[in-house]
Each structure stands twice: as structure tokens, then as C-alpha cells.
Amino acid sequence: MNIKLKAAILDDYQHASAMFADWSVITDRVELTIFDQHESDETRLIQRLLPFEILCVMRERTPLNRKILSQLPNCKLIVSTGVRNASIDLSATEEFGITVKNTGYLASGAPELTWGLLLAIARHIPQESLNLRSGNWQTTVGTDLKGKTIGIIGLGRIGSRIAKYAQAFEMRILAWSPNLTKEKAIEAGAILASKDELFKESDFITIHMVLGKRSKELIKMDELKLMKSTAYLINTSRGPLIREADLIEVLSEQKIKGAALDVYDTEPFGADHPFRKLDNVLATPHIGFVTEETYRIFFQDTVRAIESWLATS
């Protein structure tokens, strides 16, 4: 009798894994279980994952730290979507003999969503659509992008693409990051600014930094207080880049015009979270990479990774 290995697909909220890849090529050797509900409690998570030899994880939705991995003796393979996953303890996986594989990634999703959020919050698109359905007509006045200043924090792969979008909309572009040079900024069509200058002068501020020990809470009350009362903040990178409590305070007191957010300290967050209720917040549920093309890469590469591991195990 052929005993199948058990594979868990975690945090697949929409059962997208079944839609975007052909898993039949491995189901003669692997029994698949899809979990469409996130489990944040470590004890319950360990119990959930204990039977599985293979874990398929979606980027950073479920952290796999040393404590969790040490209590999963059956786990032999982790396949993570994306080229890196900071929430997997790689030193622990090496120590416990767990193979880690990653998938490819499509870079266009996050910057496209960023610009969509920027346009939506500037022109009050969600409110106008909702108000129209309620029988109203022209209830807000939007903000033009042409001639406005956008501040880009982090001018890497995504930030540089945002700069190109801003050029097409004839915006003035400021940029800052700890190691950004004047030459690199000019190459991207931006003006190198100090951190304070960027926060004081920008009409829109968008964040594109990698989250790490040095960048955590890069933006706190000191920076938020510098913003214009008419300015907007956009974050599609990682929630902890901003001190969330400070941002909630500034938005609650309407010290800035608004924020468009796709990422948060805790994901998913609770039903009573302020971001669900504040009128000056446009919030989406971390969908920067949730596109057909990206999911096709994620899940097809996951199947291939498992196939490759099975062939050599």
C-alpha cells in the first residue's frame, strides 16, 4: 500500500491554489489539505500543522518561527511563495533538516495597486461609487495629481516604478531612504530630499522599504506631525514600517487628509480595528500581490517545487 505524504496549503482564503495550478501531477504521492482560515494562536497552529510533511505557505501570512518549527517533527519541506519570506526562521529549518524552497514572483502587482490606491483616495472614488448607489450625485471634490509633490520612501525596484508613474502624471518627485544617493535619485527622475523635507513638502507620501530591524517603525509621530493637513499617506509595503498607534491617532484627529493602506501590523485584523471605521482611511486586505498572473506563478511553482523534492527524496 502506497502511503501518501500529507501537504498543507495555508491561508488560501479563496481556494486559489486549486484554480491556478494542476495539482494532479503529485496527488498520487501527496494528499492535499487546504486551510482557508488563518490561525494566529501558536498552540492551535502547531496542532493543525503537526500531521504534515509538506507546508505550502503564502508569503508572510503564517510566521514559522523556531518555537513552531521545533514542534513539527514530521515537517520535511516548506514551499513559500515569493523569492524570500522573512517570517520563516531559516537557521531553525537548517537545524531541523527542513528543506525550504521559494517560488517566482511578479513585480508589477504591488506598484500597480499603490497607484490605484493613490488615485482612489485622491479622487474619493470609493465614496463616490457608494454615494451614487445610494442615490446621491457629486458629493466630494477631488485632488489633482498634476503639479503636486509625491514623496517616495525607498527608491528600489518598486519605488523606482512609482517614480515612473508619477512622471507620467506630471508630478514633482521627492525621494528618501537611509542610503539613497543624489545620483540614484536623479536616475529615477526624483530629487533627493532629507526625511524631514519629504514629509513637510509632499502632498502624497508612499512607502516602499523592506521591513527589518532598522526599518521597523521608520515612521512615527515625529514624521507624521510634519505632514501637511492636506497630505495623504500610502503604505503597500509592510504595516510595521509605520507605528500604527501614531498613525491611528493622527487620522482620528484629522491631522492629515487621509491614508490608503494595504498592510497592517496584524493580518487579518479584528472586526473592531479603527482602520475599519475611520472615514479618512481607504483600506484593502493586503492584495498587492493578489492577481491572476502572480497566483499562477506562485502555485504552479509550488507544484514544481514539490515535484522536484519528491524526485530527490
Q: Which residues of 30-56 are buried (b: 16+ CB within 10 A; e: fewer)?
A: bbbebbeeebeeeeebbebbeebbbbb
Q: Is 267 a catalytic residue?
A: yes
d(Cα 25, Cα 27) in Å, to the nearest integer? 6
d(Cα 97, Cα 19) in Å, to the nearest integer? 31
Q: DSSP string covering 231-273, please?
A: -EEEE-S-GGGB-HHHHHHHHHTT-SSEEEES--SSSSPPTT-
> From the DSSP assignment, how many helices (H) and strands (E) are in the chain?
12, 12
d(Cα 190, Cα 197) in Å, to the nearest integer? 14
Among the options 31, 123, 267, 273, which is catalytic?
267
d(Cα 97, Cα 109) in Å, to the nearest integer? 34
Q: Could you give the maximum distance between any two Cα atoms of the chain, in Å?
A: 70
Q: Is 48 a catalytic residue?
A: no
Q: Is 286 a catalytic residue?
A: yes
Among the options 59, 124, 238, 243, which is catalytic?
238
Q: Please state the φ and ψ torsions of residue 201, each to the nearest 5 degrees.
A: -100, -20
Please name the helix (run of DSSP H) or strand (run of DSSP E) that holds residue 303, with its range, or none.
Answer: helix 292-312
Could you count the other beta carbons within 10 Å of the beta carbon of residue 167? 15
Q: Which residues are catalytic?
A: 238, 267, 286
